[in-house]
Amino acid sequence: NAGVMQNPRHLVRRRGQEARLRCSPMKGHSHVYWYRQLPEEGLKFMVYLQKENIIDESGMPKERFSAEFPKEGPSILRIQQVVRGDSAAYFCASSPLALTPYIFNEQFFGPGTRLTVL
Amino acid sequence: DQQVKQNSPSLSVQEGRISILNCDYTNSMFDYFLWYKKYPAEGPTFLISISSIKDKNEDGRFTVFLNKSAKHLSLHIVPSQPGDSAVYFCAATPTQGGSEKLVFGKGTKLTVNP
């Protein structure tokens, strides 16, 4: 019963390159969340996806960042033309399908991808 | 604007004593609160939560207290153990609205000394 998996665990990119971060949710989970943690900061929400749908992207920068959760395969967070300020730990979390409205479904976090932009 | 605040970046406690971690929030729409524990190079792990309809929730050595009028919650760990040494994040969310996004504080690094 594997937990949330993220790869790569560490990613080094030069300025201007693209970064692709992958997240495989826990088995049976249909909701995926991406959070970013800058140094000395808490985690900040970026985007919430269900299969083939973006539900809330209010925390996602308007440019260069995109996310998808296709019908098959992992969720992908894509950062184009990376800059030094993108260096951070990116965490993915997943939760099961909500059975009851207004009841919070626990989010299970992956180990994170540490992105370093040189 | 920081909607969830953990004003103590660090806390050091002797093994066996009580650890008290504090958290304040500003958004009145938050009605569900969680504590996560995080070790270096790992993802956050859920510890305990509380709904706004309660003022206390207990799970073993961990108890969370919620004071809605003060918009304040605290996590009590008793007795503290060296394995509790980690960064503790307070998080909050509004259960209405459909997003379920968590708003985190900056964390408090707890060190439990043997």
B34-62, pLDDT tens digit by residue? 999 999 989 999 999 999 999 999 999 99
Amino acid at A105: N
CA contacts within 13 A on the Cβ side of A92: 32
A52-81: b (≥16 Cβ within 10 Å) or e: eeebbbebbeeeebebbbeeeebbbbebee
Residue B78: is its pLDDT beyond 90? Answer: yes
Q: So what's the pLDDT on residue A41? A: 87
Chain B interface includes A59 (CB < 8 A): yes
Q: Which position has the higher pLDDT, B9 or A105?
A: B9
Compare all CA atoms of chain A with the CA of B93 and give the residue at the minimum distance. A104
B14, two tokens: 């002797």
B29, two tokens: 């729409």
Q: Helix (H, G, I), strand (E, B), or coil: what is residue A76?
A: strand
Q: So what's the pLDDT on residue A97? A: 72
Distance CA B76, CA B80 (A): 9
B25, two tokens: 């929030």
Q: Do A33 and B107 touch (CB under 8 A)?
A: no
B52, two tokens: 């706004």
Q: So what's the pLDDT on residue A98? A: 66
Distance CA B52, CA A92 (A): 26
Q: Do A43 and B44 touch (CB under 8 A)?
A: yes
Closest residue to B43, CB basis, from A31, A48, A112: A112
Q: Please, what is the average pLDDT of chain B? A: 93
